[in-house]
């Protein structure tokens, strides 16, 4: 996938299609395979739940009218198009299969429309990153819409049996089930938020990554089981578990620890989805599949673009035409949650297997086309760029949205270890480079310490120093990346244990090759080992690292220290009523 410069998800889908029952039939339809696939679905919902932090929910509110308009318009238009007889009319000109396109059941049409309303996060996010649209209005809107769609999946799966008429029809039974699901599961959520904090606090004291991962998986499966026993779906429970953990003090460490397993388990899910791709059916029904692909992309793009035109009093963050076109084209395909909805619908007997197979192929193809749609979106919006004052940044983006998502400046200086030495280093740097840019509430922190001490389980801004304290494994670069730190100019390693210092030096040097690494040693022998491991500077005496930290940072290439000192000089000169040239 890296060689071809495509997302690995596409590789999983293709591999699933090749090895699945419609390909080489390597997968046997055993109970173990089915359970593993179901666990992949649970983990997908759990992973999506982990992304639902309070900051992302507050960000979602900025595009909430757009999100509701998109879901309502797209599902409504698709349902109407399916029931209107338009496919039958087009059958006069295109050799479509009447048995597949003739859908007269409103419930069947709604399920098809609901599945196709959802877009793909797995393919859209890499395109946003590649084209550097993440922090632009189109990226913020796309992220919010995808999050809202993800939030809609769990209720849809819960309501699906009632929609298709397979739930209880007696009013008293429905009332009892509703009370059990809302009050019972609500109580579980409230109790869970309290108990999980305590449980993870105990696990944090062990400082064991394996225990963290095991507990995460246990919580995911356990909440799924509890939800199922209360009349909900296990997928809704797994999603709720992710939401609970996303809003604990340990969320970033959890995301970093489960990252290797996330790839494997999500790979299983996407391989399972790819195995549903019936090559023979697609070849036999290629006009119908091709028509479905173009119809889905066109209708979703049209409804998405229309949704961006909601009145300004409803949508204060209204997109300009350039961003509206990009958003409409980029999100016009199907999504991974469509497979979950279609699978559930097939289990309930709502969709014929052949129709489900065609729709699965349509969704897969539109997902695979997402990178090309990114290119198309760029070219289609290009003629309008000169009409938009200031280009795509004309309407700008609230800086607070970026800060809420990033949390820490991507070029923050890091102190690994919040022990006595680490605290002194952080304080020394904070005092030396004190400017309004480092004050509380002005921009994201550019000085951060990280450690796994149980007492440091929260993201803290210290107003006097303008710094942040983060919970996480100080030797794991993935934790820094999860906080949004992608290009630290300098990393000060103040850990006590020499083995951990060695581990931190090697992992940080490998992940951030442009960063200068300053480490602490207790003997000359340890200092030599650290230099050979990749440390740029090693300080032996414990008190020497805090004393020398400002000078080391000042000498670090590409750091913001020089910029800060220039700001200090400018402010001092302004306060004195003289120009900077005179001050020199």
Structure tokens at 400: 């607070």
Q: What pLDDT score was predicted for residue 180?
A: 61
Structure tokens at 69: 């308009």
Structure tokens at 356: 């489900």
Q: Please report the DSSP string for 381-436 in residue order.
A: HGGGGGGSTTGGGTT---HHHHHHHH-S-TT-EEEE--SHHHHHHHHHHHHHT--G
CATH code for residues 30-168+254-383: 1.20.1530.20
Q: What pLDDT score was predicted for residue 457?
A: 44
Q: Edge to edge, what strands does the sheet with 447-451 contain?
A: 460-462, 467-471, 447-451, 413-416, 490-493, 516-520, 537-539
Instruction: Determine contact, residues 121/151, Cβ cutoff 8 Å.
Output: no
Q: What pLDDT score was predicted for residue 571?
A: 45
- H or E element that contains 467: strand 467-471
Q: Collapsing DSSP states into helix, strand and coil, what is residue 1? A: coil
* CA-wise closest residue to 445 among 472, 421, 414, 477: 414
What is the residue-level pLDDT of the chain in tens, covering all 584 positions?
556 666 677 788 888 888 877 777 776 555 555 556 667 777 777 887 887 777 677 777 778 888 899 999 999 999 998 888 776 667 776 767 666 566 778 888 888 899 999 998 888 988 888 887 877 888 888 988 988 888 788 778 777 877 776 555 555 655 665 666 566 667 777 777 778 778 887 887 777 777 878 888 888 888 888 877 776 677 778 888 888 888 777 777 777 777 777 777 777 777 877 887 888 888 888 888 998 999 999 999 999 999 988 776 666 567 888 889 999 999 999 988 888 888 888 888 888 888 888 898 999 999 989 989 988 998 888 777 655 444 333 333 333 323 333 357 788 889 998 888 888 888 888 777 654 444 444 456 778 888 876 554 444 444 344 577 887 788 888 888 878 888 888 999 999 888 899 999 999 998 999 899 999 888 888 999 999 999 999 988 766 778 888 888 877 776 666 565 555 454 444 444 544 444 44
- H or E element that contains 461: strand 460-462
Structure tokens at 477: 């670069």
Q: Determine how β-strand 460-462 pairs with β-strand 537-539.
A: unpaired
The torsion defined by the Cα of 66, 72, 74 and 78, in degrees rounded to 10, comes to: -170
Counting other chains too, the contacts that 478-481 makes at CB distance below 8 Å and 24 or more residues apart are 478/256, 478/259, 479/252, 479/253, 479/256, 479/450, 480/414, 480/450, 481/256, 481/511
CA–CA separation, 364 vs 10, rounded Å? 9
Q: Collapsing DSSP states into helix, strand and coil, what is residue 484? A: coil
Q: Collapsing DSSP states into helix, strand and coil, what is residue 521? A: coil
- H or E element that contains 490: strand 490-493
* CA-wise closest residue to 140 among 266, 323, 295: 323
Strand partners, 460: 469
Instruction: For the domain made up of 408-576, give the CATH fold.
Output: Rossmann fold (3.40.50)
Scored b (16 or more CB within 10 A) or e, 211-231 reads: ebbebbbebbbebbebbeebb
Delimit the domains of the chain by residue range: 30-168+254-383, 408-576
pTM over 0.85: no
Q: Please report the DSSP string for 143-184 in residue order.
A: HHHHHHHHHHHHHHHHHHHHHTT-S--SHHHHHHHHHIIIII
Structure tokens at 537: 């500077």
CA-to-CA dists, residue 342 to 112, 348, 506, angstroms: 8, 10, 46
Q: Please report the DSSP string for 68-113 in residue order.
A: HHHHHHHHHHHHHHHHTTHHHHHTTTS---HHHH----HHHHHHHH
């Amino acid at each position: 996938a890296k060689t071809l410069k495509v997302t690995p998800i596409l590789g999983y889908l293709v591999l699933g299609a090749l090895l699945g029952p419609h390909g080489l039939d390597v997968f046997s339809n055993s109970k173990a395979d089915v359970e593993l696939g179901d666990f992949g679905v649970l983990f997908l919902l759990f992973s999506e739940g982990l992304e639902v932090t309070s900051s992302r929910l507050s960000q979602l509110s900025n595009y909430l009218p757009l999100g509701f308009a998109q879901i309502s318009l797209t599902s409504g238009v698709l349902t109407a198009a399916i029931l209107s007889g338009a496919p039958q009319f087009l059958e006069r000109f295109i050799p479509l299969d009447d048995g597949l396109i003739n859908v007269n059941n409103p419930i069947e049409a709604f399920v098809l429309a609901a599945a196709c309303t959802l877009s793909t996060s797995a393919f859209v996010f890499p395109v946003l990153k590649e084209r550097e649209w993440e922090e632009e209005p189109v990226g913020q809107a796309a992220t919010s819409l995808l999050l809202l769609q993800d939030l809609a999946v769990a209720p849809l799966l819960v309501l699906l049996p009632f929609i298709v008429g397979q739930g209880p029809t007696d009013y008293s039974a429905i009332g009892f089930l509703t009370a059990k699901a809302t009050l019972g599961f609500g109580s579980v959520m409230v109790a869970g938020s309290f108990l999980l904090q305590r449980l993870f606090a105990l696990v944090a004291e062990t400082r064991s990554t394996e225990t963290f991962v095991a507990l995460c998986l246990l919580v995911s499966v356990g909440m799924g089981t509890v939800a199922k026993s209360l009349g909900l779906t296990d997928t809704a429970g797994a999603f709720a578990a992710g939401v609970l953990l996303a809003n604990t003090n340990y969320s970033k460490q959890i995301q970093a620890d489960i990252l290797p397993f996330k790839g494997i388990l999500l790979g299983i899910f996407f391989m399972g989805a790819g195995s549903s791709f019936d090559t023979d059916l697609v070849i036999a029904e290629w006009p119908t599949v091709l028509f479905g692909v173009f119809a889905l992309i066109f209708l979703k793009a049209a409804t998405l673009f229309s949704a961006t035109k909601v009145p300004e009093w409803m949508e204060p963050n209204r997109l300009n035409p350039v961003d509206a076109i990009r958003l409409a084209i980029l999100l016009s395909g199907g999504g991974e949650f469509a497979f979950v909805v279609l699978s559930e619908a097939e289990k309930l007997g709502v969709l014929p297997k052949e129709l489900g197979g065609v729709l699965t192929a349509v969704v897969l193809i539109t997902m695979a086309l997402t990178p090309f749609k990114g290119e198309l979106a760029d070219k289609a919006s290009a003629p309008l760029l000169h009409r938009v004052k200031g280009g795509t940044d004309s309407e700008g983006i609230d800086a607070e949205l970026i800060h809420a998502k990033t949390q820490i400046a991507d070029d923050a200086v890091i102190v690994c270890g919040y022990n006595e030495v680490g605290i002194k280093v952080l304080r020394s740097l904070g005092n030396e480079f004190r400017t309004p840019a480092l004050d509380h509430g002005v921009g994201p922190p550019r000085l951060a310490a990280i450690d796994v001490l149980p007492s440091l389980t929260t993201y803290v801004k210290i107003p006097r120093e303008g710094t942040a304290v983060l919970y996480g494994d100080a030797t794991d670069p993935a934790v820094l990346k999860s906080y949004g730190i992608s290009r630290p100019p300098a990393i000060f390693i103040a850990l006590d244990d020499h083995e951990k210092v060695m581990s931190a030096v090697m992992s940080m040097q490998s992940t951030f090759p442009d960063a200068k690494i300053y480490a602490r040693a207790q003997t000359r022998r340890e200092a030599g080992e650290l230099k050979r491991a990749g440390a740029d500077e090693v300080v032996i005496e414990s008190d020497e690292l805090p004393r020398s930290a400002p000078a080391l940072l000042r000498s670090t290439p590409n750091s913001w220290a020089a910029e800060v000192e220039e700001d200090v000089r400018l402010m001092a000169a302004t306060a004195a009523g003289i120009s900077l040239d005179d001050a020199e």
